[in-house]
Amino acid sequence: MSSTPPPRTYRVKSFGCQMNVYDGERMAELLGAQGITPAPDGEAADLVVLNTCHIREKAAEKVYSDIGRITKEWGRKDGTAPLIAVAGCVAQAEGEEIMARAPAVSMVVGPQAYHRLPAMIAEAVQGRRSVDTDMPAETKFDALPARRKVGPSAFLTVQEGCDKFCTYCVVPYTRGAEVSRSFNDLVAEANTLIEAGAREITLLGQNVNAWRDDRGRGLEKLVEELAAIPELARIRYTTSHPNDMTEGLIEAHRDIAKLMPFLHLPVQAGNDRVLKAMNRSHNVASYLAVLDKVRAARADIALSGDFIVGFPGESDAEFEDTLRLVEQVGYAQCFSFKYSPRPGTPAATMDDQIAPEVMDERLQRLQGALNTSQLAFNQASVGQRCTVLVERRGKLAGQWLGKSPWLQSVHFTGDAAIGDLVEVELVEAGPNSLSAKLSQPAHA
């Protein structure tokens, strides 16, 4: 690969989970600190970063497809191809294989090493390709620049990695072991986000409620500290594991008003045998017991979860157990997926892999049940007054969009601005959003 002009513009394309969104934002900030600016809409970028996710089906193949499209369609004004960096979990899993299969790629960098992008770009400018999928002991966060201007709602990664080793999941292999960031660093970054305009902060982690500081304190202590910051109005966290829902965190939902009444707690299946095969370390009864405790602490809490259909060996009767669980819980919203094997995971070599057409039928039935549950939750909200955090303008004149305390999308018209907290009455429910009538501004 010959030398190329240093990149002056970039584009980061992130896939998958909210942690990838956070990582994409941090990579953009890192590039900005090097004097590289975002490419204007509709214009080619000198550097394209594909921030990949390995959870979705055929994730690696989709990355190669994107690389091919970039090399054909995204050429720079001087006629040269853009520098391409593949980051994230596919980068971690594929490593040198990406370099072998995609000569157009200049850099492959894993999610624990993206703070090294500037050095890798310097190598690429000189025509040298590089791969960095190390999981260094030192924290990448210390090498990242200060947070820049953000919107009214911001993400803050507090924990990375996973020690649970669910048999279908690649996260322990692509993100590494569970690591918690320090209490003081998190409070400092939260204050920076608030100074930059954030009114709401969502704490992120592969198992966010496994976060512990060096004194052994759990996530509720971090939530309590952040809630004491006057300018911060709302706190959320995701994604949680049922086994890490401590009594202290449950009580925080009762005692800390700024902690929003929303809990994303994946169960994955509604049958104990399937859960054991998944190595989920909880069963249906223990999961429901956690939900009962949470509802006792905060009666209006909205519940969310993740489900996988068609796990190897799942019978029709076991799938019916999942449908019964959905009906019993009454989820406000959920994510659901067909099982897809990930190389290197135990489930990929299990017997009794489910036929694709069976998984398709089950997913349609499950999503139908989840959509019914979500609509029922939204309809039950009609008539309530609540505070909405205004996040952006709507498509119609004078229309605004924001989130309710229960993470519902709400639209209304009236006198407001991005970042306002306004009081509304919810007047009409749809499957994915609610319309509201503005009552009065709350905390502008």
**Distance (Å, whole) CA 348 – CA 339:** 10
131-140, 303-312, 317-326: which has the minimum mean pLDDT? Answer: 131-140
**Distance (Å, whole) CA 99 – CA 71:** 15
Threshold 0.95, pTM exceeds: no
**Distance (Å, whole) CA 103 – CA 112:** 23
Tokens coding 153: 């709602």
Tokens coding 314: 């799942």
Beta strands in 161-316 (DSSP E): 179-180, 200-204, 234-238, 262-264, 302-309
Mean pLDDT over 361-365 rounds to 98
Bridge partners of 328, per DSSP, are: none
**Distance (Å, whole) CA 28 – CA 23:** 9
Q: How many helices (H) and strands (E) does the chain have?
A: 13, 19
* pLDDT higher than 60, residue 146: yes
What's the CA angle centered on 291, arms 154 and 424, to 5 degrees? 50
What would the pLDDT profile of 160-208 be if each residue is shown by its tens digit? 889 999 999 988 888 888 999 999 999 999 999 999 999 999 999 999 9
Contact in structure between 84 and 66 (CB atoms under 8 Å): no
**Distance (Å, whole) CA 309 – CA 290:** 23
Higher pLDDT, 388 or 43: 388
What value does the mean pLDDT of the chain take? 91
**Distance (Å, whole) CA 158 – CA 190:** 10
Backbone angles phi, psi at 272, to 5 degrees: -65, -40
The structure tokens 């499209």 sit at 69
Measured CA to CA in angstroms, residue 115 lies from 28, 29, 122, 138 at distances of: 11, 10, 13, 11
Tokens coding 19: 């942690």
Mean pLDDT over 48-74 rounds to 80
Mean pLDDT over 22-38 rounds to 91
- Indicate the helix (H) or strand (E) that contains 106: none
pLDDT band at 137 (very low <50, low <70, confident <90, very high): low
**Distance (Å, whole) CA 368 – CA 376:** 12
What would the pLDDT profile of 389-422 be if each residue is shown by its tens digit? 999 999 999 999 999 999 999 999 999 999 999 9
Mean pLDDT over 264-271 rounds to 98
